[in-house]
């Protein structure tokens, strides 16, 4: 009986130690997300939604993990694949974002842990990381992922660039109540949203864009 009690005590202590250890594991975040020096970016070309899909190596809903550090003009992040629409099936990638902690692109803060987005990716070469990808068109093709109070998922074009190329019939940003709810939720998930001047004029139900991308495969 004493041996049984002793064993249970040891197990309980080990479980407590493991729990404490997990609590002490914190996400590694970029030290700066908007730098004092901000670059006005210009791009050689712009992409339509269809072009971004067709020219990408991978299209996926991702969740940002740890910040891995700066490179030359780029920042590296771990990213988890939540849902994949195109490309090699993989669970995690290293994501390259334009800009660094010392020089970010104007209006394009560095990502942080738990950010979720739909991205159009090209495989990166000349990098120390395997499974590294960069975003086609940088922020011009980026769609944030947000959910409403009922758990419905939406894609949001914070910059209003890619949305210009998607059928207006799919845009539900005229639903002001939904628009305000998604904006509030976005701020709760990432407080830096409140500092930016995103207008959220392009909002899409996940199902509608998923169907649109499915049509590109035909």
pLDDT of residue 25: 74
CA gyration radius, the chain: 20
> How many Cβ atoms sit within 10 Å of the Cβ of residue 158?
23
Q: Can you give the pTM of this predicted structure? A: 0.87
Rounded to an integer, what distance in angstroms lies between the CA atom of residue 33 and that of residue 112? 8
Q: What six digits make up the tokens of 21?
A: 């250890």
- The whole-number average pLDDT for the span 124-148 is 95
User: Of the ranges 43-47, 107-111, 201-205, which one carries the lowest mean pLDDT score?
Assistant: 43-47
Q: Of residues 74 and 6, which shows the higher confidence score?
A: 74
- The whole-number average pLDDT for the span 168-193 is 96
- The whole-number average pLDDT for the span 147-167 is 96
Burial classification of residue 213, based on how many CB atoms lie within 10 Å of its CB (0-12 exposed, 13-18 middle, 19 or more buried):
middle
Rounded to an integer, what distance in angstroms lies between the CA atom of residue 17 and that of residue 146? 35
pLDDT of residue 43: 82
Burial classification of residue 23, based on how many CB atoms lie within 10 Å of its CB (0-12 exposed, 13-18 middle, 19 or more buried):
exposed
Reported as a pLDDT band with limits 50, 70 and 90, residue 32 is very high
- The whole-number average pLDDT for the span 57-78 is 97
């Amino acid at each position: 009986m004493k041996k049984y009690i002793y064993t249970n005590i040891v197990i309980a202590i080990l479980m407590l130690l493991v729990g404490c250890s997990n609590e002490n594991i914190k996400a590694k975040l970029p030290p700066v997300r908007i730098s004092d020096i901000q670059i006005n970016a210009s791009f050689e070309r712009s992409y339509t939604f269809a072009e971004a899909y067709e020219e990408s190596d991978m299209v996926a809903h991702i969740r940002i993990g740890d910040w891995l550090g700066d490179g030359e003009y780029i920042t590296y992040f771990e990213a988890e694949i939540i849902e994949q629409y195109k490309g090699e099936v993989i669970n995690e990638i290293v994501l390259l974002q334009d800009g660094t902690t010392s020089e970010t692109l104007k209006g394009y803060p560095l990502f942080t842990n738990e950010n979720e987005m739909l991205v159009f990716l090209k495989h990166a070469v000349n990098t120390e990381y395997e499974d590294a990808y960069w975003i086609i068109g940088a922020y011009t093709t980026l769609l944030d992922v947000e959910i409403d109070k009922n758990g419905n998922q939406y894609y949001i074009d914070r910059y209003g660039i890619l949305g210009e190329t998607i059928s207006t019939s799919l845009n539900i940003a005229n639903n002001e109540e939904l628009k305000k709810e998604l904006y509030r939720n976005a701020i709760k998930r990432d407080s830096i949203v409140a500092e930016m001047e995103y207008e959220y004029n392009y909002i899409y139900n996940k199902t509608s864009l998923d169907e649109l991308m499915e049509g590109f495969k035909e």
